[in-house]
Amino acid sequence: MKKLLYAIISTFILNACVAPECKNTNPVFERSHPQDKEYKIELARQLKNIDNSQLGYWIRNYEEKNGKEFLYLDIRGGDLCCTMELTIENWKGLENVKRTKGVGYSGAMINDLKFNIIEAVARTEFIYRECKGIMD
């Protein structure tokens, strides 16, 4: 019985969704964190130069800070290998992620993610608009 349980758990872990491995070559992403101003400015600059259809977004984790909710997403494609702090104000299409506060969704891919980039002197922010679903 223990061997069967071990085999089932091992199979589940090996087949779990994860973002493809990549190697970051951007020094800004190496020295700062997704919530840092410098990181967000660089990510916004990079995203403006890449066709969004070339990118994939995988859920890393959920976080709540100061009454705001965020998803941290691994981004892969083009020359990007980084993480985005995505502010979620409208959970349409991600209702189950909100309900579980991200538990069980780490590594899930978000299909056709749409978001706004807000750039101001004091901050740069990525705001979720919509998606077509999650591939678990």
Give the number of residues written for the chain.
136
Tell me the average pLDDT of the chain: 89
Radius of gyration of the chain (CA): 16
Name the residue ranges covered by the structural domains of the chain: 19-135
Phi, psi (deg, nearest 5) at residue 44: -60, -40
Mean pLDDT value of segment 84-104: 97
pLDDT at 111: 96
pLDDT at residue 26 above 50? Answer: yes
Confidence (pTM) = 0.85
pLDDT at 16: 52
Nearest to 76 by CA among 32, 123, 29, 33: 29
